[in-house]
């Protein structure tokens, strides 16, 4: 409200926000209301926080899944290709590129892509999300933010897949497949990758949560409406109910992504039995 706010009005607002109660009371009240789907009121517009977050959430979820899909589409084949030629020049170049991508933060890759494509080459839109009712326009605006967010995870996935593939390619059933005369491409993608993909799925669950957090920088750089952009604007306005709601929603999305990754093990590897005592077998 600023340093010149009227004391009586400040007291009224404090009462409306529940800040006149003790901290334990505030926590219990917030959790009880959150379970019922009530995250409070937007301090600026007086709209329900859930309504505000609901308007921005789809853009962030679409961006995170697009970045995850792009990272998997590039990182997994890159790791398989490097593992099939260990010690070669291709493997060494892939390792250097992967480490370079891992160490590149999303805000740096976003700025580089923004400078290269919209500014220098004059292709692809620089800011905004486009019209969601126009798939072509929306997809065009999604390319650069998704690429900026996926760069780091391309490196991670390439390294994890390469490591898992090298271990799997040395197993007995792969030697048997080679003895039967199967092609190396068929062995790599049909037999070896199936077993090597388990650690990758674990990484994908973590990466989805991390992508949701990293979207903050990307959405600000590309002025894309989403939870990250909403948080930054709310912090500037000291609109803490919005910030609190976004943090809670992001945490729930992170936990859900990791839970789905854990459950997917059962379908990818029948040897894993999460319902049996003693853990996986």
What per-residue confidence (pLDDT) applies to 276? 53
What per-residue confidence (pLDDT) applies to 279? 47
Going along the chain from its start, the domains and CATH numbers come out as 45-268 (1.10.3720.10)
Q: Rounded to an integer, what distance in angstroms lies between the CA atom of residue 180 and that of residue 121?
A: 51
What is the band of 281 on the pLDDT scale with cuts at 50, 70, 90?
very low
Strand-pairing partners, residue 48, are 41
Q: Rounded to an integer, what distance in angstroms lies between the CA atom of residue 80 and that of residue 162?
A: 6
* Residues 59-80 as b or e (16 or more Cβ within 10 Å = b): bbbbbbebbbebbbebbbebbb
Contact criterion met (CB below 8 Å) for 219 and 129: no
Average pLDDT value for residue range 234-252: 86
What per-residue confidence (pLDDT) applies to 271? 60
* Closest C-alpha among 167, 152, 154, 147 to residue 79: 154
* Range list of H helices, 115-224: 135-169, 172-179, 184-186, 193-221
pLDDT tens-digit series, residues 78-128: 888 887 777 778 778 888 888 888 888 888 888 888 888 888 888 888 888
Average pLDDT value for residue range 7-29: 84
């Amino acid at each position: 409200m600023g340093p010149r706010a009227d004391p009586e009005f400040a007291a009224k607002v404090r009462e409306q926000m529940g800040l006149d109660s003790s901290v334990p009371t505030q926590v219990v009240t917030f959790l009880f209301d959150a379970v019922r789907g009530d995250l409070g009121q937007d301090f600026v517009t007086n709209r329900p926080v859930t309504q505000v977050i609901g308007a921005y959430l789809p853009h962030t979820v679409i961006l995170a899944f697009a970045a995850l899909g792009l990272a998997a589409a590039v990182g997994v084949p890159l790791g398989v290709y490097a593992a099939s030629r260990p010690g070669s020049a291709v493997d060494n170049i892939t390792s250097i590129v992967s480490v370079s991508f891992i160490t590149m933060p999303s805000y740096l890759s976003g700025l580089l892509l923004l400078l290269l494509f919209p500014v220098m080459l004059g292709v692809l839109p620089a800011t905004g999300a486009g019209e969601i009712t126009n798939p072509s326009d929306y997809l065009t605006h999604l390319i650069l933010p998704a690429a900026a967010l996926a760069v780091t995870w391309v490196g991670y996935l390439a390294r994890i897949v390469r490591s898992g593939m090298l271990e799997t390619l040395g197993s007995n059933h792969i030697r048997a497949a080679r003895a039967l005369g199967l092609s190396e491409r068929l062995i790599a993608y049909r037999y070896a990758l199936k077993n090597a993909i388990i650690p990758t799925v674990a990484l994908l669950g973590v990466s989805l949560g991390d992508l949701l957090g990293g979207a903050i920088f990307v959405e600000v750089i590309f002025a894309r409406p989403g939870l990250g952009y909403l948080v930054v604007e709310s912090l500037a306005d000291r609109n803490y109910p919005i910030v609190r709601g976004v943090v809670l929603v992001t945490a729930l999305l992170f936990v859900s992504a990791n839970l789905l990754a854990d459950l997917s093990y059962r379908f990818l590897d029948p040897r894993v039995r999460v319902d049996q005592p003693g853990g996986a077998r």
